[in-house]
């Protein structure tokens, strides 16, 4: 399960008092009107663990679920962010995956963002939570909603079978690089299974060496070859796997940038990353964002959103630097 890192913008509040927070939240939602500022201040300045204590205490003292009150009092994207903040990380990931596959159409970006970036342990926990919450296996739902080689890559990621060992076998790395080259650039058509076998099963240190060897063998970066050899969701998932292995905060920075640049905002992506990474590596994501785009993540969010939705996202983003 995703655990708090040391690079989050949300950190433990040393003055945390569960009773005070319950009273503030209760007061913010009782009677006519809602004090959105109080909700933002309490929930964005508490860690996931502290929010769980608030949830438990709220239910004991008020006799209602905090999430139910939030659901009835708030609306739109602001509501989605606050409800996400009240969930444990694997519960939130499972919920997002379920939402992405529910109804007509599938939000492939969600499946890719989550399954390509989570660790094997995190994926195992998500699988368990999904089964418990929705009484069906995540793999079955993924198979029912996707097809072809894209489906096979997702199923492979769902097995959480990536080698846990961090050792690098130089000879094997050279062979893996050669195999991928021969499965793609060196032949007519592409043997995607070879890419799957290497990219979904080998450990991170080994794959970073494979990418170096691949550059030597092919004269190209592995990302460039994936773009040349593949298209659509399959291209996206392989690129996401590679980018997460190379630089996970950089991957999320790029996803955030693309969710906001140009006309319109892909709110589902923006919300998911801001909620899921606030306590893990948001400081690193912000640094990568500035390095890649020459502007702060804070300024991008401020310019692309409005109202309480903007305020809650900026609180999760942390100060403008």
Query: Which tens digits make up the pLDDT trace of 3-42?
Result: 455 799 999 989 999 999 999 999 999 877 899 999 999 9
pLDDT(131) > 50: yes
What the block records as the tokens of 146 is 């996707």
Average pLDDT value for residue range 288-312: 97
What the block records as the tokens of 59 is 């239910």
- Residue 54 has phi, psi (to 5 degrees) of -65, -45
The predicted-structure confidence for 133-186, as pLDDT tens digits, reads as follows 999 999 999 999 999 999 999 999 999 999 888 999 999 999 999 999 998 876
Per the CB < 8 A criterion, the answer to whether 265 and 259 are in contact is: yes
Per the CB < 8 A criterion, the answer to whether 270 and 313 are in contact is: yes
What pTM, to 2 d.p., does this model score?
Answer: 0.94
| Calpha distance 82→86 (Å, rounded) | 7
Residue 227's pLDDT band, with cuts at 50, 70 and 90, is: very high
| Calpha distance 298→275 (Å, rounded) | 15
Average pLDDT value for residue range 234-240: 97
The predicted-structure confidence for 178-226, as pLDDT tens digits, reads as follows 999 998 876 666 789 999 999 999 999 999 999 999 999 999 999 999 9
Q: What pLDDT sits at residue 5?
A: 57
Q: What pLDDT sits at residue 189?
A: 62
Per the CB < 8 A criterion, the answer to whether 100 and 107 are in contact is: yes
Q: What pLDDT sits at residue 185?
A: 76
Residue 1's pLDDT band, with cuts at 50, 70 and 90, is: very low
Q: What pLDDT sits at residue 264?
A: 79
Of the candidates 237, 236, 180, 235, the residue with the CA atom closest to the CA atom of residue 207 = 180
Q: What pLDDT sits at residue 111?
A: 97
Whole-number mean pLDDT of the chain?
Answer: 94
CA angle, 295 as apex, 247 and 266 as ends, to 5°?
70
What the block records as the tokens of 127 is 């699988």
Average pLDDT value for residue range 277-284: 96
Per the CB < 8 A criterion, the answer to whether 134 and 102 are in contact is: no
Average pLDDT value for residue range 83-87: 98
| Calpha distance 191→36 (Å, rounded) | 53
pLDDT(245) > 60: yes
What phi-psi label fits residue 219: left (phi over 0), alpha (psi between -120 and 50 degrees) or beta?
left
| Calpha distance 245→211 (Å, rounded) | 10
> Helix, strand, or coil here: 91?
helix
pLDDT(2) > 50: no
The predicted-structure confidence for 41-50, as pLDDT tens digits, reads as follows 999 999 999 9
Q: What pLDDT sits at residue 3?
A: 47
Q: What pLDDT sits at residue 320?
A: 81
| Calpha distance 10→24 (Å, rounded) | 19
| Calpha distance 270→71 (Å, rounded) | 20
What phi-psi label fits residue 148: left (phi over 0), alpha (psi between -120 and 50 degrees) or beta?
left
Average pLDDT value for residue range 87-108: 92
Q: What percent of the chain has pLDDT over 70?
A: 97
pLDDT(293) > 90: yes
Q: What pLDDT sits at residue 321?
A: 72
């Amino acid at each position: 399960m995703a655990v708090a890192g040391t690079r989050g913008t949300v950190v433990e509040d040393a003055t945390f008092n569960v009773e005070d927070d319950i009273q503030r939240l209760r007061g913010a939602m009782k009677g006519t009107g809602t004090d959105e500022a109080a909700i933002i201040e309490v929930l964005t300045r508490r860690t996931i663990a502290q929010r769980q204590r608030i949830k438990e205490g709220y239910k004991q003292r008020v006799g209602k679920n905090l999430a139910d009150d939030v659901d009835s009092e708030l609306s739109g994207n602001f509501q989605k962010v606050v409800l996400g903040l009240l969930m444990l990380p694997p519960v939130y990931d499972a919920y997002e995956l379920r939402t992405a596959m529910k109804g007509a159409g599938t939000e492939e970006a969600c499946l890719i963002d989550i399954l390509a970036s989570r660790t094997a342990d995190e994926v195992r926990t998500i699988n368990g939570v999904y089964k418990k919450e929705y009484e069906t296996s995540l793999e079955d739902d993924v198979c029912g909603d996707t097809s072809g080689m894209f489906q096979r890559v997702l199923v492979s990621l769902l097995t959480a079978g990536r080698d846990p060992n961090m050792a690098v076998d130089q000879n094997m790395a050279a062979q893996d690089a050669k195999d991928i080259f021969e499965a793609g650039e060196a032949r007519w058509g592409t043997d995607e299974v070879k890419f799957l076998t290497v990219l979904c099963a080998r450990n991170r240190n080994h794959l970073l060496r494979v990418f170096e060897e691949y550059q030597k063998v092919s004269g190209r970066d592995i990302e460039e070859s994936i773009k040349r050899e593949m298209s659509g969701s399959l291209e996206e998932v392989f690129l996401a796997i590679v980018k997460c292995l190379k630089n996970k905060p950089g991957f999320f920075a790029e996803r955030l940038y693309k969710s906001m640049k140009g006309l319109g905002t892909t709110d589902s992506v923006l919300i998911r990353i801001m909620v899921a990474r606030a306590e893990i590596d948001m400081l690193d994501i912000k640094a990568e964002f500035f390095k890649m785009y020459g502007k702060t993540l804070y300024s991008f969010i401020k310019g692309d959103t409005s109202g309480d939705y903007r305020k809650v996202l900026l609180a999760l983003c942390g100060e403008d630097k």
